[in-house]
């Protein structure tokens, strides 16, 4: 895909849908002796999501697992569209489209595994991480340089803001 086509896809995005495990986290599942689940999130990814929201692009979470920690993180980031326990991610994606009134071309999705393929194939901008399976890499429009839970989501947020011409305004808030 050409850089111009990638930027055109990113320019149309109004909603970015993030998977959690393997995208916003490194994919590891951590459990305490009491059965409590823990996840490590990257603070720069979170700030990128907040800047993207401030630039006018909404974010959502679409994950096959269910976890209280995901709800806490989403609230912290101002994400109100949260779908957990999605065994059929495409059906959940279609419900998000109906709820928002957006077209597939106005959405980006960031996933990392085969269960994400139906949504990645349908959205306007499909993004993944470098260690995704070959089938996911081959069907994505953009593969981040940063790894999962290590700035990959931030990279996608910046790509969209640069394409939409909002990056300079976000940067100016800090570069004074």
Q: What whole-number distance in Å separates Cα of residue 131 and Cα of residue 146?
A: 10
CATH topology of domain 3-165: Rossmann fold (3.40.50)
* pTM (2 d.p.): 0.95
Tell me the sheet residues that pair with 16: 59, 108
| Cα distances (Å, whole numbers) of residue 117 to 43, 53, 91, 112, 160 | 27, 25, 13, 9, 21
Environment class of residue 5 by beta-carbon count within 10 Å: exposed (0-12), middle (13-18) or buried (19+)? exposed
Contact between 166 and 55 (Cβ < 8 Å): yes
Burial 130-154 (b: 16+ CB within 10 A, else e): eebeeebeeebbbbbebebbbbbbb
Find the farthest-apart pair of alpha carbons in the chain and give their distance in angstroms, rounded.
51
Averages of pLDDT over each 10 residues, the chain, 176 residues: 95 98 94 90 97 98 95 96 96 98 98 98 98 98 97 98 97 89
Contact between 153 and 110 (Cβ < 8 Å): yes
pLDDT of residue 176: 79
Provide the 10 A C-beta neighbour count for residue 113: 18
Domain boundaries, the chain: 3-165
pLDDT of residue 8: 97
């Amino acid at each position: 895909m050409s850089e111009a086509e990638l930027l055109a896809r990113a320019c149309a995005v109004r909603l970015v849908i993030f998977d959690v495990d393997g995208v916003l986290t490194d994919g590891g599942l951590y459990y305490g002796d009491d059965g409590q689940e823990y996840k490590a999130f990257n603070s720069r990814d979170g700030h990128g999501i907040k800047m993207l929201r401030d630039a006018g692009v909404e974010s959502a979470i679409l994950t096959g697992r269910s976890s209280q920690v995901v709800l806490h993180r989403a609230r912290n980031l101002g994400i109100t569209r949260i779908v957990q326990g999605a065994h059929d991610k495409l059906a959940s994606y279609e419900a998000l489209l109906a709820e928002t009134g957006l077209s597939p071309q106005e959405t980006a999705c960031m996933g990392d595994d085969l269960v994400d393929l139906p949504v990645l194939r349908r959205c306007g901008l499909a993004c993944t991480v470098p260690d995704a399976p070959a089938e996911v890499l081959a069907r994505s429009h953009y593969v981040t340089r940063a790894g999962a839970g290590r700035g990959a989501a931030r990279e996608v947020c910046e790509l969209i803001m640069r394409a939409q011409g909002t990056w300079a305004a976000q940067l100016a808030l800090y570069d004074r």
